[in-house]
């Protein structure tokens, strides 16, 4: 445990230099070295998804990665979702409106999972969303309202994109 490695990480667009043991997981580094405690740890073996973050835009389990493995990647955590003034994103607001969280321990993982998924699949159906939501565990909600929240966020994003296209079309 005494050998320490220099690792450079980019988290939420900020560059960090860390001297850490090579066995230190990304989850531990985010939480305990960088103080980004929004990423939670529920199992440390890749099943629960509470630790889900985005690595180069893709949802990944921070408990299964060593920080040293993701030196050249862009990492995003739940702390990046709200605006600089603290205003919650559309996705976060949808979770609140649908009561998609109770204790909130699983929530950052679901938010990052959905954030990554919707960026890739903005047209996802409710069934496809349910399938993706099934990658993480929640013990409180029974999942229905989590699916509702992600689905509603996707439809709202599609509607506002359509509205923007319509406006662009009509002004052209």
Partner 1 sequence: MREPGFRTDGTWVGADVPRREDPRLLAGRGRFVDDITLPRMLHAAFVRSTEAHALLTSVDLSEVRGVPGVVAAFDAAGLGLADITALLDRPAEEFTPTSMPVLARDKVRYVGEPVAVVLATDPYAAEDGVEAAVVDYEPLDPVVTETAALAAAGAPVHDEAPGNVLVDVSLFATEGIDAVFDAAHTVVSVEARTGRQNALPLETRGVVADWDDRDEQLLVRTCTQVPHQVRTVLARCAGLDEKQVRVTVPDMGGGFGQKCVVGREEIAAAAAARRLRRPVKWIEDRREALTASFLAREQHYTARAAFDADGAILALEADVVCDMGAYSCYPFTAGIEPLMASAEMPGVYRVPAYRVRGRAVTTNKAPTAPYRGVSRPQYVMVMERLMERAARSLGLDALDVRRRNLITEFPYRGINNITYDPGSYLESLDLCERVLRDEGWHRHTEPGRVVGIGYSCFSERTGYGSGAFAQRKMQVVPGFDLSQITMDLDGTVSVTTGTLSHGQSHETTFAQIVADRLGVPYDKVKIVQGDTDRITYGWGSFASRSVTIGGSAASAAAVKLGDQLRALAAHLAGVDVDTCELDGRGGVRAADRTLPFTELAEVAYLRSHLLPKDVGPGLTATASFDVGGDGTFSNATHGCVVALDPGTGGVEILRYVCVEDCGVAIHPRVVEGQARGGIAQGIAGALFEEVLYDEAGQPLAPSFMEYKVPTAAEIPDVRIEHLETPCAFTANGAKGAGEGGTIGAPAAVLNAVNDALRGTGVELDSTPIPRHAIFAALAPHEEAS
Closest approach of partner 1 to the CB of residue 43, in Å: 4
The residue from 37, 89, 102, 135 that contacts ligand FES (CB under 6 A) is 102
Closest CA to 92 of 149, 12, 133: 149
**CA–CA distance from 158 to each of 9, 22, 124, 153 (Å)?**
33, 43, 10, 9
Closest approach of ligand FES to the CB of residue 93, in Å: 17
Q: How far apart are CA 63 and CA 42, in angstroms?
A: 9
- Quick note: the x/- pattern for ligand FES over 39-78, rule CB under 6 A, is --xxxx-xxxxxx---------x-x---------------
Q: What is the DSSP letter of 23?
A: T
CB 26 within 8 A of CB 62: yes
- Quick note: the x/- pattern for partner 1 over 79-108, rule CB under 8 A, is x-xx---x-x---xx-xxx-x-xxxxxxxx
Supply φ then ψ for residue 54, to 5 degrees: -100, 130
Window 107 to 166, contacts with partner 1 (CB under 8 A):
107-108, 111, 130-131, 133-147
Q: How far apart are CA 110 and CA 53, in angstroms?
A: 9
SS3 11: strand
Greatest Cα pair distance in the chain: 65
The residue from 67, 106, 153, 154 that contacts ligand FES (CB under 6 A) is 106
Q: Which residues bind ligand FES (CB under 6 A)?
A: 41-44, 46-51, 61, 63, 101-106, 138-141
Tell me which residues touch partner 1 (CB under 8 A).
1-2, 21, 23-24, 31-32, 35-45, 47-48, 50, 77-79, 81-82, 86, 88, 92-93, 95-97, 99, 101-108, 111, 130-131, 133-147
């Amino acid at each position: 445990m005494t050998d320490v490695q220099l690792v450079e990480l980019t988290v939420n667009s900020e560059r960090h230099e860390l001297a850490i043991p090579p066995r230190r997981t990304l989850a531990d580094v985010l939480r305990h070295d960088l103080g980004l405690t929004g990423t939670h740890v529920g199992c440390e073996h890749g099943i629960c998804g509470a630790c889900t973050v985005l690595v180069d835009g893709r949802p990944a389990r921070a408990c299964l990665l060593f920080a040293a493995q993701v030196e050249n990647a862009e990492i995003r955590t739940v702390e990046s979702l709200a605006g600089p003034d603290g205003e919650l994103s559309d996705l976060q607001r949808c979770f609140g409106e649908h009561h998609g969280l109770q204790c909130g321990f699983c929530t950052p993982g679901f938010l990052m999972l959905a954030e990554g998924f919707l960026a890739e699949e903005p047209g996802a159906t409710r069934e496809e969303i349910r399938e993706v939501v099934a990658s993480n565990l929640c013990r409180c909600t029974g999942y229905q309202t989590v699916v509702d929240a992600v689905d509603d966020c996707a439809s709202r994003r599609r509607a506002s994109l359509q509205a923007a296209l319509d406006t662009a079309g009509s002004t052209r």
